Amino acid sequence: MKGDVNLGRIVKNLGLYLILILLVVTLVNTFLTPEETPVQQQYDEIAYSEFLSELDAGHVAILQIRNNTQSSESSSALLQGELQSGRRFLTYGINAAEIAERAAQKGVTVTVEAPQKTSWTSLLTSLIPTLLLIGVWIYFMYTMQGGGRGVMSFAKSNAKLFLDNRPKVTFNDVAGCEESKEELQEVIEFLKEPEKFTKLGAKVPRGVLLLGPPGTGKTLLARAAAGEADVPFFCASGSDFVEMFVGVGAARVRDLFDQAKKYQPCLIFVDEIDAVGRHRGAGLGGGHDEREQTLNQLLVELDGFDDTSSTILIAATNRPDILDPALLRPGRFDRHITVDRPDVKGREEILKVHMRGKEFDNDVNTNILARRTPGLVGADLENLINEAALLTARHNKDKIGMAELEEGIERVMAGPERKSRLINDKEKKIIAYHEIGHAMVARVLPDSDPVHKISIIPRGHAALGYTLQVPEEDRFLMSRSDLLNRITILLSGRTAEELVFGDVTSGAANDLERATRIARQMVTELGMSDKLGLVKLGNKREEIFLGRDISEDRNYSEEVASEIDKEVKAIIDKCYFNAREILSERRTLMDKIVKILLEREVLDGDEFAKLMDGDSDSKPEEPAKVNSAGAESAEPEELKELKDNLPDLPDVRIDKLPDDKFMA
């Protein structure tokens, strides 16, 4: 039956192609038939009998025989020439050889053109432009539709069907998201044993939406679900539905679900569904009609399942905030599964999964690696293991060691080392004081993350040096004092430069940006200002088709805006003076550690801690301000007055964790 349908389609397409070719040939012959040349238009056409009379009378002066052929002596030929009176003529005659002989006997100057090509060659030559145009058109249509699916299959879905070749990934290959696996396990059990649920009156989930940051394993979870369920699996991307032709996206959605109904029970996975599921009517000038038609068809298909249907749609996105509300309601995507960043235990399990099949030294400790990689997702951890394996091969080792894994962490988080970048001694010294300033303040402040490594070797595309702080445990809340400590550590690099050299550089630009952002969040978003109170100031407005944070809706007056600026500056100033005081009291120790750092270029956390603790018994030094010339200078009076007027900042817990790991 299926073969008869395919044969019918082939015959139908061939008939369409033949009609199209005949139409094109007709148009070409109509519009490309050569007209008379200007030379021919200068001749008077006469009858063949009149030409013979003029020839016999000896009135023909010149005769030219054209369009002669080799096929037969009696074939017609174009005769044109000039009479003795000066009149030009043309006519058509037969037996060109006999005419030429008669004219020569009369003393006429006769010229004969070379015989033309055969009729088949001429016909082929005339058809070459037509065939070329048809070939270009077919190639264009074939390429535009992806190739291999037929020229006219515009509305066919691009989704790949996996039957016996379905993914072999199972939930054993997925780690760090146990809750997400449990949620998907229920969906798989429904596909395997629907009677277990239907006898209790439960309905199949229409759709499952996987939410989470990039790299957390949403696509891997969908593949694992297909492997566990052991049912037909359709895989597509959101961008596969939208093409240049209007209505194609909706037609492809219909075709996808029509195919799925033939293979029930089955799974459909659509990755990056935000490509077609964006909020309707958003953006400048309204929505995108083709995208909205596709979304409307998707909404109908999701809500149009009958109660006995066992087709489940799994979709993934990292932008749930821009999805249309109609897509998220129960009855369409009934279940929302959040695949978040893994915690310490999750990172350790993910590392063990990616370490399978590789040789490691006995000193490798996955727990230490997990604690040193806060905030990294599964894709980052996989890249970390791969970088360590590449470094091991580069060093001609047989097993991956802890040193390579540590380097892999730094390559993933900060980029590769750039030892080829030449930095003069003066700038290297400034960078060293900058990084030691970060590290010393981080060591002194209570409850701050411990310093893991200090380096003045450039990494990545921008970092000339960095101070790496690694938290001992995952944290999901930060107090006001924690945020103030974070700002103080960020400002301590610039403070160290100013304290030692009496001048500042552009190296602290990123530190100032991050410090200001945290301070403004404290005032406007987190209610951590005594003057402004517990209010949320300003509303972020994200235009879906124009990008994130393109504008901010100011719901406060100019007076409040001025107060916000004052509060932000007060927080920054207080943290700056705190950092200056800490570094001033430990100026001699800072010089000592900087000297060691300049010699080694890298200090690990344990070495730095010993250097700091070695001076713990001595009394803090008197604050000394030394400029670039080496002379001491007292703290300016205006700074003292500003310091005395700074507000007290009590301790408050918050639910937002700034994503800052490097103090470079």
User: Residues 59, 108: contact at Cβ < 8 Å?
Assistant: no
pLDDT for res 31: 55
User: Looking at this protein, which amino acid is placed at residue 227?
Assistant: G
Q: How many helices (H) and strands (E) does the chain have?
A: 21, 18
- Compute the Cα dihedral for 219, 223, 228, 229 and give only its sign: positive
Helix (H, G, I), strand (E, B) or coil at 80: strand
**Residue 453: which of 474, 473, 470, 431 has the closest Cα?**
470
pLDDT for res 206: 80
Residue 632 annotated as catalytic: no
**Residue 267: which of 283, 256, 251, 278 has the closest Cα?**
256
Low-confidence residues of the chain: pLDDT under 70: 1-20, 22-41, 67-75, 114-127, 130, 137-158, 243-247, 282-288, 304-309, 461-462, 540-553, 615-664
Q: What is the DSSP-derived secondary structure letter of residue 622? A: P
**Residue 179: which of 342, 19, 354 has the closest Cα?**
342
Alpha-carbon distance of 290 to 531, in angstroms, equals 51
265: preceding bond cis by omega (within 30 degrees): yes
Name the token pair of 101: 């002989």
Alpha-carbon distance of 536 to 555, in angstroms, equals 9
| pTM for this prediction | 0.67
Angle at 459 between CA 457 and CA 465, to 5 degrees: 50
Name the token pair of 380: 């980052």
pLDDT for res 115: 61
User: Residues 310, 204: contact at Cβ < 8 Å?
Assistant: yes
Classify the phi-psi angles of 601: left when phi > 0, otherwise alpha if psi is within -120 to 50, otherwise beta.
Answer: left
User: Residues 248, 289: contact at Cβ < 8 Å?
Assistant: no
Alpha-carbon distance of 277 to 326, in angstroms, equals 9
Name the token pair of 450: 């411990």
Q: What is the DSSP-derived secondary structure letter of residue 464? A: S
pLDDT for res 658: 40
Pairing of strands 266-271, 233-237: parallel
Q: Which helix (H) or strand (E) holds 368?
A: helix 366-371
Helix (H, G, I), strand (E, B) or coil at 33: coil
Name the token pair of 133: 């145009």
Q: Which of 435, 497, 498, 567 is catalytic?
A: 435
List helix spans (H) across 156-217: 178-192, 195-198
Q: Which helix (H) or strand (E) holds 434?
A: helix 425-444
Q: What is the DSSP-derived secondary structure letter of residue 459? A: B
HEC-encoded secondary structure of 377-420: CHHHHHHHHHHHHHHHHHCCCCCECHHHHHHHHHHHHHCCECCC
Alpha-carbon distance of 252 to 267, in angstroms, equals 17
Angle at 566 between CA 573 and CA 530, to 5 degrees: 90
**Residue 459: which of 404, 410, 420, 417 has the closest Cα?**
417
List helix spans (H) across 107-263: 119-144, 178-192, 195-198, 218-229, 248-262
Q: Which residues pair with 207 in a beta bridge?
A: 313
pLDDT for res 86: 79
